[in-house]
Amino acid sequence: MDPACNISGRLRLPCFELLVSHFINPRWLLTRVWSYNSVLLSVDMNFHQSAQSILQNDYPWTKTPFIASAPMARVAKPPLAVAVSRAGGLGFIAAGYTSENLEEVLDEAAELIAEEPIPGASSAAQGLPVGVGFICWSASLASAIPALKKHRPCAVWLFAPPNDYNDLVPWVTQIREATSHHTKIWVQVSTVADALDVIKTLQPDTLVLQGSDAGGHGLASGASIVSLVPEVHDKLREKQVSTARPIPLVAAGGISDGRAVAASINLGAQGCVMGTRFLASPESQIAAGYQKEVLRASDGGLNTVRTDVYDKIRDIHGWPNRYNGRALINRSYIEAMDGLGEEENRTLYMEEMEEGGVGYGPKGRQCTYAGTGVGLIREVMSAGDIVRSVMREANQLLVKGGSKARL
């Protein structure tokens, strides 16, 4: 008979033994609590360090803490991705909505790397030390395979299947086959249920846990990484603690500096993704007005919004119903909420597009995707300097807080 009483959600003892221990020998009880929790901590640390080692083995040029740049559509091009990888991170290139020009894009990345090889990375013949991100509801797997086979990027990031994660089975199977398993599979999720579904269905090499603070497209409804990361981490620890290869977790959404990276590591992630922060770099090659807005904006939880308005005015249709995008609020959104029709809103947007980069800001109409961490971005820095400064700050905090062992 074991009623299994709980103390702080950790110790489970028969109630009779618990009562006797508590009233007769509290030192013995504390010893049992300490011993049990020490075992749990050891299990947790082993899980975390094993997953972290996998990232370092898969991407040997990277430094700790592990930082990747997001495959932001129309922003994450070869100069940005290569600069991030060269600084000790992992840069992702956006394949775009169709992936038709992927071979040309990867050719450019290969040329940049050939001009200045990345220390610690394999030779070009063994694959590229950059990743590629796909918007899977619109991208063409068939057109992507030749480019992936030719260049073998180190990772492919799969996002937004048209229906469910079963739609990604051909992607995973064919990419692994075409690249002889050299290209690792990353899958982006935003819920605990989706994380478990992806593990069962796709067996990815890495899970990207995107929280609701992320800029650009993501689930219309979900949790921030503050609760998403530890809950997924705990579920995986329960289910995979005895497996040969734990699945690394990479946190994304609202991460703009080393403080957020350190926090994510302590929440259970083995690495982090930044997107909005890299908008304030010359390598992002975005419009000057866009970059100025990223530096101007503050209070991102108030001044950004998740909406499909910016897809509609840009005449982008097809996103699955679960998704929308987070952007800075401006007249396109405000007037849509006030009743302005979609066609008229689109016309006003297109007219402003013809005027160049002047249509950004609260009184403008241009789409300005950004996450809630936008208020923490105060200066333009090279992508390499961003990676190095964020790593430095995160490492200082992790050492100070006694969490360096997690790295």
pLDDT tens track for 223-259: 999 999 999 999 888 875 444 578 999 999 999 999 9
**pTM exceeds 0.85:** yes
**pLDDT above 90 covers what percent of the chain?**
77
Task: Answer yes or no: is 52 within a domain.
Answer: no
Three-state SS for 128-190 is EEEEEEEECCCCCHHHHHHHHHHHCEEEEEEECCCCCHHHHHHHHHHHHHHCCCCCEEEEEEC
Assess whether 369 and 293 both reside in one domain.
Answer: yes
Average pLDDT over every residue of 175-197: 97
Structurally, the chain folds into a number of domains equal to 3
Assess whether 273 and 152 both reside in one domain.
Answer: yes
**Coil, helix or strand at residue 260:** helix
* pLDDT value of position 129: 97
CA dihedral 181, 186, 187, 189 (to 10 degrees): 160
Assess whether 246 and 139 both reside in one domain.
Answer: yes
Assess whether 201 and 336 both reside in one domain.
Answer: no
Of 53-57, 172-176, 310-314, the poorest mean pLDDT is in 53-57
Identify the CATH number of the domain in which residue 240 sits. Answer: 3.20.20.70
**Residue 406 class from Cβ within 10 Å (0-12 exposed, 13-18 middle, 19+ buried)?**
buried
Instruction: Report the candidate in 318, 323, 294 with the shortest Cα–Cα distance to residue 306.
Output: 323
Assess whether 278 and 296 both reside in one domain.
Answer: no
Assess whether 328 and 302 both reside in one domain.
Answer: yes
Assess whether 256 and 159 both reside in one domain.
Answer: yes
Integer Cα distance of 1 and 17 in angstroms: 12
Assess whether 183 and 332 both reside in one domain.
Answer: no
Assess whether 217 and 258 both reside in one domain.
Answer: yes
Integer Cα distance of 111 and 94 in angstroms: 17
Sheet with 304-307, side-by-side order of all strands: 216-219, 323-328, 304-307
Q: 273 pairs with which residues across the strands?
A: 68, 252
Q: Is pLDDT above 80 for 138? A: yes
Q: Could you tell me if 314 and 297 are in contact, meaning their C-beta atoms sit under 8 angstroms apart? A: no
Whole domain around residue 36: which residue ranges?
5-44
Task: Answer yes or no: is 339 within a domain.
Answer: yes
Assess whether 348 and 250 both reside in one domain.
Answer: no
